[in-house]
Amino acid sequence: MVFCAVLLGDASVRAQEIEPRAFSNAPVGVNFLIGGYAYTRGGLAFDSSVPVTNPELETSSAVLGYARALDLWGLSGKVDVIVPYTWLSGTADYLGQPTERVVDGFADPRLRVAVNFYGAPALRLPEFRRYRQDLILGASVQISAPWGQYDPTRAVNIGTNRWWIKPELGLSKALGPWTLEASYAATFYSDNADFFGGNRRSTAPVYATQAHFIHAFPKGIWASVDATYFEGGRTELNGVAKDDRQDNWRLGGTLSFPVDAHRSVKLYASSGVSARTGNDFDLLGIAWQYRWGGGL
């Protein structure tokens, strides 16, 4: 018995990412190594072409990432790569009968390049210590490759068997100890030409906006209240449109605190508050970061 879930690499969950300080400045030449863990529980989006109801799913994901702050022709920028590994288990009703599935494997890796084109010049560490943020405007492009776990004979997979590209625009405005951030992104997908038994599955673009209210505390601690809204992502199976357009809200929070000059820890959580087609899962995560280089 099989059932179909749109997992961490797919349209709906990808759009629900909530990432504060995505366009913050950093000293040129600093490297970041990130190790993290995220847990989700609840209903993820199901493809409407498969008769699946009442999903109760859990995922555990280990994430390894690397980022480097860049000087892009006098502008501050960043490149990062993320490789997740996911374990999924849960139950759902398939054709009216309860069924269970357990699967694990690498999810699709991602590469992103970002540049701040206003308000965040490329600075070495001695200059950066004197830098004070006002208004930052930035942009990024993220690409995901279809290299994750995928079996076309099974309906549930962790990888998506398709490419996607996500351009994003963002702004960050400092107001004393507060920083207000907003961003807007669109994610475009190639077709999955081998979806669940040789079908062709296409997905319309997903459009997402984020907002963050961040407060800085002494000793490098900061916390934020986060929100995201996304819509779109209607799918077609062999050219037949499905009634699965996304129209969802999520709210969350983030807390980050340094351990020492090179290490920090970030805790984050989010939950669906309004969901048209599933996606009402809860998420808890922790990330450990180590930074070096650039004169640190």
- The owner of tokens 């199901």 is 46
In 91-242, alpha helices (H):
125-128
Element (H, E) at 14: helix 11-15
Question: Residue 293: what pLDDT?
Answer: 95
- The owner of tokens 């879930």 is 5
Query: Is residue 63 in a domain?
Result: yes
Please report the DSSP string for 244-294 in residue order: --EEEEEEEEEEEEESSSSEEEEEEEEEEEE-SSS---EEEEEEEEEEE-T
Query: Is residue 3 in a domain?
Result: no
CA distance 55 to 42: 7
Is residue 173 within 8 A of residue 134, CB to CB? The reply is: yes
Domains in the chain, number: 1
Mean pLDDT of the chain: 87
Query: Is residue 52 in a domain?
Result: no
pLDDT in tens, 33-85: 999 999 988 766 544 445 556 777 888 999 999 999 999 999 999 999 999 99
CATH code at position 149: 2.40.128.130
pLDDT in tens, 167-208: 999 999 999 999 999 999 999 999 999 988 788 989 999 999
Query: Is residue 6 in a domain?
Result: no
Is residue 108 within 8 A of residue 72, CB to CB? The reply is: no
- Total residue length of the chain: 296
CA distance 124 to 126: 6
CA distance 205 to 228: 16
Query: Is residue 153 in a domain?
Result: yes
Q: Could you give the maximum distance between any two Cα atoms of the chain, in Å?
A: 65
Least confident of 6-15, 48-57, 141-150, 180-189: 6-15
Question: Could you tell me the end-to-end alpha-carbon distance of the chain, in angstroms, rounded to an integer?
Answer: 54
Query: Is residue 93 in a domain?
Result: yes
- Pull the structure tokens for residue 135: 């208004």
Query: Is residue 119 in a domain?
Result: yes
Domain range enclosing 218: 11-47+57-292
Q: Give the residue among 147, 118, 143 at the shortest CA–CA distance from 133.
A: 118
Query: Is residue 90 in a domain?
Result: yes
Q: CB-based contacts of 230: which residues, under 8 Å, 6+ apart? A: 12, 15, 16, 206, 207, 208, 209, 246, 248
Q: What angle do CA 220, 225, 230 make, to 5 degrees?
A: 130
Quote the pTM value: 0.89
- Asked whether residue 5 carries a pLDDT value surpassing 60, the answer given is no
